[in-house]
Amino acid sequence: MDGASTLSFPDRRRGHRVFGASRPVSPCTDASGITAGTAHSPPAGASGEIDTRLAQPTGQAVGAGELAGRLNPEAILHGNEIVILLVRPSLWFIAAGSFRFCAAAVLLAVLAERLGLAGRFLHPDTLVYVTATVVLVRVMYGVMDWISHLYLLTNCRIVTIKGARKPEIFQVSLSRISEVRLLRPAIQRCFGVGTIGFATGGAIHPAGLWNWIRHPDRVRRQIEDALRKRGR
């Protein structure tokens, strides 16, 4: 059970195209090391690495409809950027996020049936129907949350988009990243996935985590290769 998508896009010099449009390889123009916003937003401030203003100048989370239109990498890229890697979490991300809630719902339904509490208010068949509906709704929310996660590596920066209820965008220039860390809790090792964090000044920003990534060792190597090419 693994539906993670990992797509590499070599640059134009190798005769390939990036999302259907050739883009020349050129250096990033942000001399401060902090990635500027897209053409649709003002540049990032000079005080930090996180830029949530990619979507709105105020740094507030964007609406789901607006974010959906921006999930197209062409709308996120600067004019001089090349997409190196585009990743979504493994499908195990859905199961991991939904398991506790669904298990609790089923357990409560079983206890209500065994203790005779459900019979006072609901027919057993109705209890099963209600429980199945609650579980299905939670799983569908997990699918929406999975769809909302998009991890993007370009020749200039790291971009992380996540959040079904409150979409957030994190971006940091490659020149600001001091370390790429692979985090693999026991549960993720069991499923062959991992989480990648990006440290700037020794601290990993939770908003920038790439969660439940398939083939995490390979993805980390690709990111580190991009950092070396940027002359870190």
Q: pLDDT digit string (tens) for 180-206? A: 999 999 999 999 999 999 998 888 888
Output the pLDDT for position 49: 42
Q: Residue 174 pLDDT > 50, yes or no?
A: yes
As a whole number of angstroms, the distance between CA 179 and CA 99 comes to 32
Topology of 6-21+49-89+149-229 in CATH?
PH-domain like (2.30.29)
Per-residue confidence (pLDDT) for residue 166, from 0 to 100:
78
- Residue ranges of alpha helices (H) inside the chain are 64-70, 73-76, 92-114, 124-148, 186-190, 216-229
> What is the 8-class DSSP label of residue 23?
-
Residue among 208, 206, 198 nearest 177 (CA): 198
84 neighbors 226 (Cβ within 8 angstroms): yes
Q: Give the torsion through C-alpha atoms of 174, 177, 181, 183, to 10 deg.
A: -80
Q: Which residues contact 156 (CB under 8 A, 6 or more apart)?
A: 28, 30, 35, 78, 80, 81, 173, 174, 230
Cα–Cα distance for residue pair 78/196, rounded to 1 Å? 24
The partner residues of 170 in beta bridges, in order of sequence, read: 160
Give the pLDDT confidence of 20-44 residue by residue, as tens digits. Answer: 333 333 446 443 343 333 333 333 3
With a CB cutoff of 8 Å and minimum separation 6, the contacts of 70 are: 54, 55, 62, 76, 161
Residue 171: Cβ within 10 Å count? 27
Mean pLDDT of 57-62: 34
Asked if residue 170 has pLDDT above 80, the reply is: yes
Q: Which of 58-62, 104-108, 171-175 has the lowest mean pLDDT?
A: 58-62
- pLDDT higher at 171 or 66: 171
